[in-house]
């Protein structure tokens, strides 16, 4: 047994493209950031494999945050929006049938959570969670309401830009990723220490969803396009290995 | 594909304090959307292998438990096979999903997984890895999910041959990757994000 997976090794993560563990302006990172260097080594079978969610039964409304917590006949308050895009790996290959989970605040900027203390009201028809599997082309689609910005206890007057949290699996545990989607034109993006922990402006830009009028539903909902990229395999390594067999 | 044609991975952002809403909605009181929280059960009555439980807490740099952490584990079955399309052997236990997700208790910070002892997984050059569980941690203040491994204190011989543990420097830090046995198949694995006992985290 070679100890190699069917797809081959993963490319090393570009650590200077991601936020560092310690970003002092994001206060919570100060005591929660490892200080020793990460132990770097090539991926093994343990990272090149990952859970398969194809069999998980996804409910009919799981992707529909407007309705999945609402009373019968009711819907969540706020601007109705469609959020969609493709999930690919670094070589541009679509990642089909992969689990995408999202969560967000309501249209007043309030989360439905026991630790939440913001004064904005809960919406009795909005839970804030959604999930779907990408289709055969790696495409995902949610309908939800536009979340609002909200204040948070970081500095004396800190506000998060409107955002939707995303959790992705890909096809191997090496690809596991959690990130956040922002909205084009939000002036709070450049003021947010969580966003600005990302060291490069062009990297931040990839987390900003674009208004997508082609996908908007007339008289129903605006659309936002947000594509995601997960780690890719080392094709050079894989090609060489295949030839050597 | 040439290196310069590669796309960049989407940058990571913290899961934040309300990660439960999307990952474990029933846990935080959002009932009726998902029938069950994903990853809350790893084994059933027909799963092969020795039942074990892994519990512990995540601590910050001041020794305070991180009560908003969410942990995920990924592991091989009792024979060392992953229930994944990418495992070329493809004969994993159909009654073992291999993946689990658990929240730290909002009051105490304690997490718990009930699973089976994983078998040894192959490495390159005919070598074997010691039994281990991949562990991934997110929370407010963690900008990018932290990955580590849980090895088992009562697998000393296998641990001594493990190719990953062999790379840990200084050697005393190996202990941060080894779950202590409480007997009866119970293991304790605490994670220290900072400080003298900082856990070895992986870039793998």
Q: What's CA A52's distance to the chain center, in Å?
A: 18
pLDDT (0 to 100) of residue A73: 97
Establish if B2 belongs to a structural domain.
no
Among chain A residues, the shortest Cα distance to B100 is held by A51
- Name the token pair of A88: 């690919």
B77 vs B97: CA distance, rounded Å = 8
B13 at interface of A, judged by CB pairs closer than 8 A:
yes
Establish if A74 belongs to a structural domain.
yes
Domain that holds residue A94: 62-128+146-234
- Name the token pair of A161: 């830009």
Establish if A105 belongs to a structural domain.
yes
A236 vs A239: CA distance, rounded Å = 5
The DSSP secondary-structure symbol of A58 reads: -
CB contact under 8 A, A165 and B25: no
Establish if A95 belongs to a structural domain.
yes
B179 vs B153: CA distance, rounded Å = 6
Q: With bands split at pLDDT 50, 70 and 90, how would you rate the model's confidence at A245?
A: very low
The residues facing A210 across adjacent strands are: A225
Establish if A47 belongs to a structural domain.
no
Cβ neighbour number for residue B37 with a 10 Å cutoff: 18
Cα three-residue angle B134-B139-B143, rounded to 5 degrees: 90
Let me know: does B69 contact B110? Beta carbons within 8 Å: no
CB contact under 8 A, A39 and B203: yes
Establish if B179 belongs to a structural domain.
yes
Q: Which residues of chain B have pLDDT under 70?
A: 1-4
Residues of chain B with C-beta less than 8 angstroms from the C-beta of A99:
38
Establish if A172 belongs to a structural domain.
yes
Establish if B200 belongs to a structural domain.
no
- Name the token pair of A54: 């194809």
Q: State the total domains in chain A.
A: 1
What are the backbone dihedrals phi and psi of residue B72, each rounded to the nearest 5 degrees, phi first?
A: -125, 145
A21 at interface of B, judged by CB pairs closer than 8 A:
yes
pLDDT (0 to 100) of residue A45: 96
Let me know: does A18 contact A10? Beta carbons within 8 Å: no
CB contact under 8 A, B202 and A38: yes
Indicate the SS3 state at residue B140: coil
- Any idea what the CATH number is for the domain that residue B170 is in? 2.60.130.10
H runs (alpha helix) in B134-179: 156-161
Let me know: does B178 contact B169? Beta carbons within 8 Å: no
pLDDT (0 to 100) of residue B5: 86
The CA-to-CA distance between both ends of chain A, in Å, stands at 13
Instruction: Decide if pLDDT at A149 tops 50.
Output: yes
Which of A128-132, A207-211, B88-92, B191-195 is least confident? Answer: B88-92
pLDDT (0 to 100) of residue B204: 96
pLDDT (0 to 100) of residue B1: 45
Q: Tokens 């080392």 belong to which residue?
A: A234
Which of A50-59, A64-73, B61-70, B164-173 is least confident? Answer: A50-59
Residues of chain A with C-beta less than 8 angstroms from the C-beta of B27:
none
Q: With bands split at pLDDT 50, 70 and 90, how would you rate the model's confidence at A242?
A: very low
Q: Tokens 């046995």 belong to which residue?
A: B181
B204 vs B192: CA distance, rounded Å = 19
Find the helix or strand (DSSP H, E) in which A205 lies.
helix A201-205
Q: With bands split at pLDDT 50, 70 and 90, how would you rate the model's confidence at A201?
A: very high
- Any idea what the CATH number is for the domain that residue A101 is in? 2.60.130.10
Domain that holds residue B181: 13-192
B98 at interface of A, judged by CB pairs closer than 8 A:
yes
Q: Which of A12, A51, A228 sits opposite B97 (nearest CB)?
A: A51
Establish if A212 belongs to a structural domain.
yes
Instruction: Decide if pLDDT at A240 tops 70.
Output: no
Q: Report ipTM for this prediction.
A: 0.97
pLDDT (0 to 100) of residue B4: 61
Indicate the SS3 state at residue A204: helix
Of A99, A141, A153, give the one whose Cα is nearest residue B16.
A153
CB contact under 8 A, A46 and B144: no
What are the backbone dihedrals phi and psi of residue B197, each rounded to the nearest 5 degrees, phi first?
A: -105, 25
Q: State the total domains in chain B.
A: 1
Let me know: does A97 contact A138? Beta carbons within 8 Å: no
Of A78, A88, A236, A75, give the one whose Cα is nearest residue A175.
A88
Quote the radius of gyration of chain A (alpha carbons, Å): 20
In terms of C-beta density within 10 A (0-12 exposed, 13-18 middle, 19 or more buried), how is residue B82 classed? buried
Instruction: Give the torsion sign (CA, B153, B156, B162, B168).
Output: positive
Average pLDDT of span A18-44: 97
Residues 183-212 of A with CB under 8 A from B: 194-195, 197-198, 203-204, 206-207
A160 is a catalytic site residue: yes
Question: Long-range contacts: A52-55, Cβ < 8 Å, 24+?
Answer: A52/B83, A52/B84, A52/B85, A53/A97, A53/A98, A53/A99, A53/A133, A53/A169, A54/A97, A54/A133
pLDDT (0 to 100) of residue A65: 98
B192 vs B66: CA distance, rounded Å = 10
Instruction: Read off the pLDDT of residues A215-237 as tens digits, 9 standing for 90 and up.
Output: 999 999 999 999 999 999 998 75
Strand A129-133 with A99-103, pairing = antiparallel
A158 vs A99: CA distance, rounded Å = 32
pLDDT (0 to 100) of residue B150: 98
A164 vs B41: CA distance, rounded Å = 27
Q: With bands split at pLDDT 50, 70 and 90, how would you rate the model's confidence at A1?
A: very low
Establish if A109 belongs to a structural domain.
yes
């Amino acid at each position: 047994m070679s100890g190699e997976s069917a797809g081959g090794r993963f490319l090393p993560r570009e650590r200077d493209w991601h936020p560092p563990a310690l970003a002092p302006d994001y206060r919570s990172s100060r005591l929660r950031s490892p200080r020793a260097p990460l132990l770097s080594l090539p991926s093994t079978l343990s990272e090149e494999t990952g859970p398969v969610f194809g069999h998980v039964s996804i409910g009919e409304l799981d992707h529909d945050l407007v309705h999945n917590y609402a009373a019968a006949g009711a819907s969540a308050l706020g601007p109705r929006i469609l959020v969609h895009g493709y999930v690919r790996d670094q070589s541009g290959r679509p990642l089909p049938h992969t689990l995408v989970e999202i969560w967000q605040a309501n249209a007043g900027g309030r989360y439905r959570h026991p630790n939440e203390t913001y004064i904005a009201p809960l919406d009795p028809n909005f839970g804030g969670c959604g999930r779907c599997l990408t289709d055969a082309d790696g495409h995902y689609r949610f309908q939800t309401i536009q979340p609002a910005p909200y204040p948070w206890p970081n500095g004396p007057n800190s506000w998060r830009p409107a955002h939707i949290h995303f959790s992705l699996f890909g096809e191997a545990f090496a690809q596991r990723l959690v990130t956040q989607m922002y909205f084009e034109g939000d002036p709070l993006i450049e003021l947010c220490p969580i966003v600005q922990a990302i060291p490069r402006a062009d990297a931040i830009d990839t987390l900003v969803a674009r208004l997508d009028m082609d996908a908007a539903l007339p008289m129903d909902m605006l659309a936002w396009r947000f594509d995601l990229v997960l780690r890719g395999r080392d094709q050079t390594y894989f090609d060489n290995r295949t030839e050597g067999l | 594909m040439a290196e310069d044609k590669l796309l960049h991975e989407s940058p990571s952002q913290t899961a934040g304090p309300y990660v439960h809403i999307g990952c474990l909605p029933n846990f935080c009181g959002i009932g009726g959307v998902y029938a069950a929280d994903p990853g809350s059960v790893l084994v059933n009555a027909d799963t092969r292998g020795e039942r074990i439980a892994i519990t512990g807490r995540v601590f910050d740099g001041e020794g305070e438990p991180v009560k908003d952490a969410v942990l995920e584990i990924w592991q091989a079955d009792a024979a060392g096979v992953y229930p994944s399309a990418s495992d070329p052997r493809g004969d994993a236990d159909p009654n073992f999903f291999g993946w689990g997700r658990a929240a730290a208790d909002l009051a105490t910070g304690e997490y718990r997984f009930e699973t089976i002892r994983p078998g040894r997984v192959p490495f390159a050059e005919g070598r074997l890895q010691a039994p281990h569980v991949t562990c991934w941690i997110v929370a407010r203040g963690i900008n990018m999910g932290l990955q580590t491994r849980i090895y088992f204190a009562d697998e000393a011989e296998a641990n001594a041959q493990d190719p990953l543990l062999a790379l840990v420097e200084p050697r005393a830090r190996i202990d941060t990757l080894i779950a202590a046995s409480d007997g009866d198949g119970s293991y304790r694995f605490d994670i220290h994000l900072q400080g003298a006992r900082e856990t070895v985290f992986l870039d793998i």
